[in-house]
């Protein structure tokens, strides 16, 4: 009896920690929605790109479809997180099938949108880098999403792996919106002296670090799977940052633009 009584406070503490961790994922999802809405406000409100100009007309419908899919994924992440917070794991698992379908659409549509945008954009687009070099940004985001969310879906019955992979996969998908917040973009553009990846990716990586610190603060333990997910994100970004400076990438991008 005494051992059962002694264990009760420990179980209560573990329950509180678990709930706080679940709430932190929900809060992160809400933050991503707010950041993406700020970055893509012209797109959501007026159908314009970040520069306030019309979306590339030959592929406008494709771009809108891509935007709906990516926005839908972030909202899906928030809904799924809220179900876990409420303890409705059974519905969370059933809706997971919809997530697999959405994932299977997002990856090919995202890659196609990036390639078509590079093909149809005029030469002065995406100053000061140009469409050939800038192509690496959307591709790095979609590849990061594909790898991380793919692992998360594969391990959907193992929450310790599933949660951080889905979280950082979704953050990778949100990176385009985060980097297009005018004040954020200008700050990192100046700080990196106009570097493409130094402008577009650090805000997202910083957000990932901050969320990781929040998890450590809440749970008082190191999450190795979160560290693995973050390492994958960094490796994808670093890989694309290097490759995008090579001659063969430039030649490949020129082929895409023909």
For residue 124, the model assigns a pLDDT of 61
**Phi, psi angles (nearest 5°) of residue 124:** -75, 5
For residue 258, the model assigns a pLDDT of 78
For residue 136, the model assigns a pLDDT of 94
CA distances from 141 to 131, 147, 173 (A): 16, 10, 6
When computed from its CA atoms, the radius of gyration of the chain, rounded to whole angstroms, is: 20
Q: pTM of this prediction?
A: 0.90
For residue 121, the model assigns a pLDDT of 76
How many beta carbons lie within 10 A of that of residue 77, not counting itself?
25
Q: Give the rounded distance of the alpha carbon of 187 from its chain centre.
A: 20
Query: Residue 30: exposed, middle, or buried by beta-carbon count in 10 A (0-12, 13-18, 19+)?
Result: middle
Q: What pLDDT, in 10s, does the model give residues 125-167?
A: 666 787 888 899 999 999 999 999 999 999 999 999 999 999 9
For residue 122, the model assigns a pLDDT of 65
For residue 125, the model assigns a pLDDT of 60
Low-confidence residues in the chain, pLDDT < 70: 1-13, 15, 122-127
Report how many domains make up the chain: 1
Q: What pLDDT, in 10s, does the model give residues 42-54?
A: 999 888 887 788 8
As a whole number of angstroms, the longest Cα–Cα distance in the chain is 77
Lookup: tokens for 30: 């809400």
For residue 123, the model assigns a pLDDT of 61
Tell me the three-class secondary structure of the chain, residue by residue. CHHHHHHHHHHHHHHHHHHHHHHHHHHHHHHHHHHHHHHCHHHHHHCECCCCCECCHHHHHHHHHHHHHHHHHHHHHHHHHHHHHCCCHHHHHHHHHHHHHHHHHHHHHHHHHHHHHHHHCCCCCCCCCHHHHHCHHHHHHHHHHHHHHHHHHHCCCCHHHHHHHHHHHHHHHHHHHHHCCHHHHHHHHHHCCCCHHHHHCHHHHHHHHHHHHHHHHHHCCCCHHHHHHHHHHHHHHHHHHHHCCCHHHHHHHHHHHC
For residue 9, the model assigns a pLDDT of 58
Lookup: tokens for 255: 């082929």
Length in residues, the chain: 258
User: What is the C-alpha to C-alpha distance for residues 21 and 218, in angstroms, rounded to an integer?
Assistant: 6
Q: Which domain holds residue 46?
A: 2-257
For residue 170, the model assigns a pLDDT of 97
Lookup: tokens for 233: 């994100």
């Amino acid at each position: 009896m005494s051992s059962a009584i002694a264990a009760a406070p420990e179980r209560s503490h573990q329950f509180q920690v678990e709930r706080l961790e679940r709430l932190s994922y929900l809060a992160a999802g809400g933050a991503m929605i707010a950041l993406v809405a700020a970055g893509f406000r012209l797109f959501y409100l007026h159908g314009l790109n970040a520069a306030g100009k019309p979306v590339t007309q030959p592929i406008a419908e494709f771009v809108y479809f891509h935007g709906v899919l990516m926005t839908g994924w972030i909202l899906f992440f928030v809904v799924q997180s809220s179900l876990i917070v409420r303890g409705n794991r059974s519905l969370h698992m059933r809706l997971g099938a919809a997530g697999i379908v959405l994932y299977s659409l997002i990856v090919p549509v995202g890659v196609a949108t990036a390639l078509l945008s590079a093909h149809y954009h005029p030469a002065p687009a995406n100053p000061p880098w140009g469409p050939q070099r800038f192509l690496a940004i959307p591709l790095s985001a979609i590849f990061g999403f594909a790898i991380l969310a793919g692992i998360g879906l594969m391990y959907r019955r193992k929450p310790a792996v599933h949660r951080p992979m889905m979280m950082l996969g979704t953050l990778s998908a949100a990176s385009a919106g985060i980097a297009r917040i005018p004040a954020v973009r200008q700050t990192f553009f100046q700080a990196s002296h106009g570097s493409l990846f130094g402008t577009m990716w650090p805000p997202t990586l910083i957000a990932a670090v901050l969320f990781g610190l929040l998890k450590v603060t809440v749970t008082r333990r190191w999450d190795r799977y979160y560290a693995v997910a973050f390492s994958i994100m960094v490796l994808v970004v670093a890989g694309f940052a290097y490759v995008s400076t090579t001659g063969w990438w430039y030649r490949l991008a020129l082929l895409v633009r023909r």
